[in-house]
């Protein structure tokens, strides 16, 4: 029997519907406006359903690397027809590649560091264990803007300015503490008897981690991968500070540069935005069933 009365269920449904509209409306407008002309996208009232859908903006993105196409489109096109292409459009696909490289490297290195550290904190008792957990977690209380200058001096001393490696290093510093926190809570929720039984059977600490705990920690690992990937993919401030040329710039920086021209094509920017959200959305859809269980793992014991 439901614990909600009919009136309460109706209010719950209406509230959920309104919240869903609030969350999904910007995404729906982004997708819709990416296939509209500039005149249609700036019309009042706005058209949620395009009257004459066009893939011109997406074709322009994939053709922007052709200097002839870029020049002629910029010369003949204008913002009213949607034919205008920003001068930095040719950098979009290379920037997407850079974002993939950085995000993939950070995810792999983050797992290599955080998984053994979390296992050690959860299953090995040593002096300063609790203090270590709180110290690592306290590093995420510091706003990223306060870390820009120390990170900048560190990267400059290493000679890694305008290098993707600078982003990998700094993103690891941001993501590893929280990843360890998530995984530690999950490993602590697993019975200590599993660890003891594996040790009695002759497994080393590494074998116990790889053969016993990792298969059980899949939901938490997926949550860590998703958190790390999204953080690396969307980060803007540090990427803006440490990259100066298209060779190392990531997607958020290039998309932001589309507003630097005297003419701004909103439909083109929104088409680039659609490409930017596709990878995170696909990952979230594929691993959706693991996300909530992974993030809440270890929150309740017993």
pTM for the whole structure: 0.82
Residue 71 has pLDDT above 70, yes or no: no
Structure-model confidence comparison of residues 98 and 43, the more confident one: 98
Residues 88-127: tens digit of each pLDDT? 788 888 999 999 999 999 999 999 999 999 988 888 887 7
pLDDT of residue 168: 95
Residue 86 has pLDDT above 80, yes or no: no
pLDDT of residue 296: 55
Query: Comparing C-alpha atoms, which of 183, 135, 173 is closest to residue 152?
Result: 173
Question: Please, are residues 124 and 135 in contact by the beta-carbon 8 Å criterion?
Answer: no
Question: What is the arithmetic mean of pLDDT over 220-245?
Answer: 90
25-29, 96-100, 274-278, 279-283: which is most confident: 96-100
pLDDT band at residue 300 under the 50/70/90 scheme: very low
Distance CA 79, CA 57 (A): 12
Residue 225 has pLDDT above 80, yes or no: yes
Per the prediction, the chain carries an average pLDDT of 82
Percent share of the chain, pLDDT over 90: 21
pLDDT of residue 37: 80
pLDDT band at residue 178 under the 50/70/90 scheme: confident
pLDDT of residue 97: 93
pLDDT of residue 145: 83
Distance CA 126, CA 176 (A): 21
Distance CA 156, CA 150 (A): 10
Biggest distance spanned by C-alpha atoms of the chain: 76
Residue 44 has pLDDT above 60, yes or no: yes
Distance CA 74, CA 76 (A): 6
Residue 171 has pLDDT above 90, yes or no: yes
Q: Extract the tokens encoding 215.
A: 């298969």
Residues 138-147: tens digit of each pLDDT? 877 788 788 8
Query: Comparing C-alpha atoms, which of 253, 254, 277, 271 is closest to residue 38?
Result: 271
pLDDT of residue 228: 93
């Amino acid at each position: 029997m439901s614990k909600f009365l009919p009136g309460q269920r109706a209010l719950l449904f209406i509230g959920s519907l309104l919240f869903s509209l609030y969350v999904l409306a910007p995404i729906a407008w982004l997708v819709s406006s990416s296939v509209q002309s500039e005149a249609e996208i700036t019309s009042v009232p706005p058209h949620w359903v395009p009257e004459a859908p066009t893939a011109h903006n997406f074709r322009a993105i994939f053709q922007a690397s052709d200097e002839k196409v870029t020049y002629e489109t910029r010369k003949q096109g204008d913002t009213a027809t949607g034919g205008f292409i920003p001068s930095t459009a040719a950098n979009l696909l290379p920037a997407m590649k850079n974002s993939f490289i950085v995000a993939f490297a950070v995810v792999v290195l983050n797992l290599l560091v955080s998984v053994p550290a979390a296992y050690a904190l959860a299953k090995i008792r040593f002096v300063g264990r609790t203090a270590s957990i709180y110290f690592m977690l306290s590093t995420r209380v510091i706003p990223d803007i306060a870390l820009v200058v120390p990170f900048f001096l560190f990267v400059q001393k290493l000679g890694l300015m305008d290098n993707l490696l600078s982003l990998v290093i700094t993103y690891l510093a941001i993501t590893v503490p929280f990843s360890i926190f998530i995984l530690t809570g999950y490993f602590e929720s697993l019975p200590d008897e599993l660890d003891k039984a594996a040790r009695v059977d002759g497994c080393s600490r590494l074998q116990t981690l790889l053969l016993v705990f990792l298969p059980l920690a899949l939901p938490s690992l997926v949550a860590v991968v998703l958190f790390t990937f999204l953080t690396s993919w969307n980060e803007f401030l540090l990427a803006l500070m440490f990259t100066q040329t298209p060779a190392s710039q990531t997607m958020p920086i290039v998309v932001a540069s589309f507003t630097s021209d005297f003419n701004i094509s909103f439909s083109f920017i929104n088409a680039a935005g659609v490409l930017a959200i596709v990878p995170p959305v696909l990952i979230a859809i594929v691993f959706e069933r693991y996300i909530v269980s992974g993030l809440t793992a270890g929150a309740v014991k017993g």
